[in-house]
Amino acid sequence: MSFLGSIGKIMGGSGLEELLKSAYGGVNNMLNGKAWPKALKGLRMVCICLLEEHVISGENLKEVCTTASKYPTGKLWVSGLIEPVKLAHYFIIAMKENNILLNLYCEYKTLHLYSRSSNVCKTDDIPCNGGDSWTVRAAAPPTSLG
């Protein structure tokens, strides 16, 4: 399963598919991760529409997302859509700037997203070299990006 495919699986039945269908064709390919550029553009558009009012009014987006996460639907949209789309953009920045710490941070967060969308991958302990367990510790993303 791809990264954007896991977003599609987590957000299944939430209305995201209907939102994307109003602007794009081939939404099934977007939500299963096959049309990566188109999917990222569409998911970014949905995030912008969700947060536009708060950005215009000058509210702190971190506080808005924290407040929204107190409710089940808000938690689904924040943790299942907004955070993963932000993570995808961090990953693009990490690849363009050759930033290994940001890349590790993105990979660590991606493992948690995969574990939420499937029972195949568990991230409590990642076995490495003969059963030793290790934890990925990477720098936090730059605060200037949100």
* Segment 40-81, tens digit of pLDDT: 899 999 999 989 998 889 888 889 999 999 999 999 899 889
Number of domains in the chain: 1
Q: Which domain holds residue 27?
A: 3-145
Structure tokens at 19: 């939102």
Alpha carbons 32 and 99: distance in angstroms, whole number: 28
Cite the DSSP H helix spans in the chain.
3-10, 16-21, 27-31, 36-56, 61-68, 72-77, 83-97, 100-117
Lowest mean pLDDT of 3-17, 26-40, 108-122, name the range. Answer: 108-122
pTM for this prediction: 0.72
- Taking every pair of C-alpha atoms in the chain, what is the biggest distance, in angstroms? 53
CB 50 within 8 A of CB 85: no
Mean pLDDT value across residues 93-103:
91
Alpha carbons 42 and 24: distance in angstroms, whole number: 8
What is the full DSSP assignment across 14-26? TTHHHHHHTT-S-
What's the Cα-to-Cα distance from 133 to each of 43, 122, 125, 127, rounded to whole Å? 35, 13, 6, 5
Alpha carbons 10 and 129: distance in angstroms, whole number: 32
Alpha carbons 8 and 105: distance in angstroms, whole number: 22
Number of residues that make up the chain: 146
Mean pLDDT value across residues 126-131:
38
Structure tokens at 74: 């808000």
Q: Which residue has the tokens 């993570």?
A: 87
